[in-house]
């Protein structure tokens, strides 16, 4: 059975929009294959841990409708789904690697490591651990160095801080197949003896991810491009354990319009920001789906179900797609326009609870006017400002207000056609444009069609606002 996962780290405010993209692809691959989509929390970096981040990540993933089958809050057959609750497992596996000669204890102090680094930089070498703790005094490398082992044991017993490092073999070609990018080969000489288990007993990403992906029977590892350089290290670990490799796919990194990596400074990066701005979750998913993939018929608007149906991981293009807020906004407008009045009303009430202050009749009447004119749900409050005010905007043209008051008072059948007829006669007589009325009523130059809006607002309320404006 296909099993995919995302292992977000609770180190930020929420799930990053790039990780939501990764989540979408993982979700789609699992659903397409009638498999399972899993969330595992990678909370092993205690220095960057943020209280509340996990809850926020999980609630965002749910808000976007990417329902997971197993996770820290719902459990599952491979619980726990939080790495901080799985520490004995990593320790056990680190020891297994040491037994096999694929890893070793390292007692080097920070001072020694800093010195080594400085020295290597000076010699224009890539900074890298020198296997000091693996090398015998006579300079030979060994995997069964009993003396070192005894030393290590003694060190551990004496409470000396240590880490466990990956013993990268020299000059070996490591290959793996990426579903999106094809075969990737790298020479082991380019890899560092990465720390696997830290001195605080927590695993690093590399050990944690491999142990858990294997333990949780993950079949397809789909993650962002930035992790490609980690994969060869993982391959070494899989080989050392004698485990079968999962399929790997590295998704392209989403970029800002200037092609830099999507960052907080240029674009909003937290997934919930888009919901707070009034984008619909399905718009965001539809938009993300099109990053790096296109619909076979070049369609732009499609449902999650359609995407799951048509999507093939191997069709993802590896080049960095650009995140374009303008296109997302256009797409959201299409989505809002395609809603029924009842659906739109429900969405608006959920987004702007103050909408319930309006009568059911008023809200219902506003829907057809709003529908084609909203880019995001936030537009509701801006567009219907007149319904929530007791006073027209400052700087009213009192003379114009007085004339309107007089003309409107005379309307017996209050409807948009009659209202428009009166506005038209004033426009002709004063040689002014419709925008002066918008200005008077809303402070803006345009907005929802004014005669229709005033019809819904009602004669009494309209006259009352005009009266107040001329005193």
Q: Where in 12-41 is the site for ligand GLU (CB under 6 A)?
A: 19
Q: Which residue is nearest to ligand GLU (CB)?
A: 223
Residue 204, interface with ligand GLU (CB under 6 A)?
no
- Candidate ranges 1-9, 32-40, 47-55, 364-372; the one touching ligand GLU (CB under 6 A): 1-9
Residues 6+ apart with CB under 8 A from 409: 463
* Backbone phi, psi, residue 393, to 5°: -60, 155
Task: Candidates 4, 8, 56, 193: give the one binding ligand GLU (CB under 6 A).
Answer: 8
- Candidate ranges 5-13, 63-71, 315-323, 398-406; the one touching ligand GLU (CB under 6 A): 5-13
Longest dimension (CA), the chain: 108
Q: How far is the CB of 16 from ligand GLU (least distance, A)?
A: 8
| Sheet containing 163-166: order of strands | 103-106, 163-166, 195-197
Sign, Cα dihedral of 261, 266, 270, 275: negative
- Candidate ranges 3-11, 89-97, 321-329, 354-362; the one touching ligand GLU (CB under 6 A): 3-11
Whether the bond between 80 and the residue before it is cis, its omega within 30 degrees of 0, is yes
List the one residue out of 5, 17, 177, 167 whose CA is nearest residue 94. Answer: 167
Distance CA 450, CA 410 (A): 18
Residue (148 or 233) nearer to ligand GLU, CB: 233
Residue 238, interface with ligand GLU (CB under 6 A)?
no
Residue 233, interface with ligand GLU (CB under 6 A)?
no
- Candidate ranges 6-14, 49-57, 388-396, 432-440; the one touching ligand GLU (CB under 6 A): 6-14
Residue 203, interface with ligand GLU (CB under 6 A)?
no
Distance set, CA 144 to CA 140, 162, 164, 308, 456 (Å): 11, 19, 16, 51, 86
Residue (145 or 213) nearer to ligand GLU, CB: 213
Residue 7, interface with ligand GLU (CB under 6 A)?
yes
Task: Candidates 86, 148, 223, 233: give the one binding ligand GLU (CB under 6 A).
Answer: 223
Residue 42, interface with ligand GLU (CB under 6 A)?
yes
Residue (42 or 70) nearer to ligand GLU, CB: 42
Q: How far is the CB of 7 from ligand GLU (least distance, A)?
A: 5
Residue (7 or 252) nearer to ligand GLU, CB: 7
- The b-or-e profile of 387-410 (16+ CB within 10 A means b, else e) is beeeebeeebbeebbebbbebbee
Distance CA 386, CA 12 (A): 39
The one catalytic residue in 264, 317, 433, 445 is: 264
H helices present in 277-324, as ranges: 281-289, 304-310
Q: How far is the CB of 175 from ligand GLU (least distance, A)?
A: 19
Distance CA 93, CA 237 (A): 10
- Candidate ranges 7-15, 54-62, 340-348, 403-411; the one touching ligand GLU (CB under 6 A): 7-15
| Sheet containing 3-6: order of strands | 36-39, 3-6, 220-224, 247-251, 173-178, 182-187
Residue (9 or 384) nearer to ligand GLU, CB: 9
Residue 227, interface with ligand GLU (CB under 6 A)?
yes
Contact 262, 225 (CB under 8 A): no
Residue 9, interface with ligand GLU (CB under 6 A)?
yes
- Candidate ranges 2-10, 76-84, 134-142, 283-291; the one touching ligand GLU (CB under 6 A): 2-10
3-state helix vs strand vs coil in the chain, percent to 5: 50, 10, 40
* Count of positions (residues) in the chain: 471
Answer yes or no: 124 catalytic.
no
Residue 43, interface with ligand GLU (CB under 6 A)?
no
Q: Where in 109-148 is the site for ligand GLU (CB under 6 A)?
A: none
Residue (19 or 167) nearer to ligand GLU, CB: 19
Distance CA 18, CA 143 (A): 41
Q: How far is the CB of 22 from ligand GLU (least distance, A)?
A: 7
Element (H, E) at 286: helix 281-289
- The two structure tokens encoding residue 433: 């444009």
List the one residue out of 468, 377, 466, 351 whose CA is nearest residue 419. Answer: 466
Residue 209, interface with ligand GLU (CB under 6 A)?
yes
How many residues touch ligand GLU under the rule CB under 6 A: the total is: 8
Residue 49, interface with ligand GLU (CB under 6 A)?
no
Per CB under 6 A, residues contacting ligand GLU are: 7-9, 19, 42, 209, 223, 227
Q: Which residues are catalytic?
A: 264
């Amino acid at each position: 059975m296909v099993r995919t996962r995302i292992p977000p780290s609770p180190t930020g405010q929420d799930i990053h929009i790039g990780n939501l993209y990764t989540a979408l692809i993982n979700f789609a691959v699992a659903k397409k294959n009638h498999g399972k989509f899993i969330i595992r929390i990678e909370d092993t970096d205690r220095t960057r841990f943020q209280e509340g981040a996990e809850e926020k990540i999980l609630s965002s993933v749910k808000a976007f409708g990417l329902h997971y089958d197993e996770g820290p809050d719902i459990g599952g057959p491979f619980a726990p789904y939080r790495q901080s609750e799985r520490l004995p497992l990593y320790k056990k596996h680190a020891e297994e690697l040491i037994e096999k000669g694929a890893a070793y204890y390292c007692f080097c102090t920070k001072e020694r490591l800093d010195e080594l680094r400085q020295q290597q930089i000076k010699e224009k070498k890539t900074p890298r651990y020198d296997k000091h703790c693996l090398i015998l005094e006579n300079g030979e490398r060994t995997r069964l160095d009993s003396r070192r082992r005894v030393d290590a044991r003694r060190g551990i017993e004496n409470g000396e801080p240590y880490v466990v490092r990956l013993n990268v073999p020299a000059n070996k070609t490591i290959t793996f197949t990426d579903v999106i990018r094809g075969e990737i080969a790298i020479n082991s000489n380019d890899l560092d003896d990465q720390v696997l288990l830290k001195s605080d007993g927590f695993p690093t990403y590399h050990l944690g991810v491999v142990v858990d992906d294997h333990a949780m029977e993950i079949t397809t590892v789909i993650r962002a491009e930035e992790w490609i350089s980690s994969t060869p290290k993982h391959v070494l670990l899989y080989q050392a354990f004698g485990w079968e490799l999962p399929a790997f796919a590295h998704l392209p990194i989403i970029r800002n319009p200037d092609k830099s990596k999507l960052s907080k400074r240029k674009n909003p990066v937290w997934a919930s920001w888009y919901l707070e701005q009034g984008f619909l979750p399905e718009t965001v998913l539809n938009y993300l789906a099109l990053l790096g993939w296109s619909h076979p018929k070049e369609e732009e608007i499609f449902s999650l179900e359609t995407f799951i149906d048509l999507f093939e991981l191997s069709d993802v293009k590896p080049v960095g797609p650009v995140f374009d807020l303008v296109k997302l906004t256009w797409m959201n407008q299409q989505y809002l326009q395609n809603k029924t009045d009842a659906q739109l009303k429900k969405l608006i009430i959920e987004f702007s609870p103050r909408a319930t202050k309006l009568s059911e009749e008023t809200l219902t009447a506003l829907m057809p006017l709003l529908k084609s004119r909203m880019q995001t749900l936030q537009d509701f409050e801006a567009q219907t400002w007149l319904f929530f005010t007791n006073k027209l905007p400052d700087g009213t043209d009192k003379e114009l207000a007085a004339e309107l008051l007089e003309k409107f008072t005379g309307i017996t059948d209050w409807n948009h056609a009659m209202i428009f007829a009166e506005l038209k006669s004033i426009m002709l007589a004063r040689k002014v444009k419709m925008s002066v009325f918008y200005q008077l009523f809303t402070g803006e130059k345009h907005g929802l069609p004014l005669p229709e809006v005033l019809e819904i607002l009602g004669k009494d309320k309209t006259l009352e606002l005009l009266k107040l404006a001329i005193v």
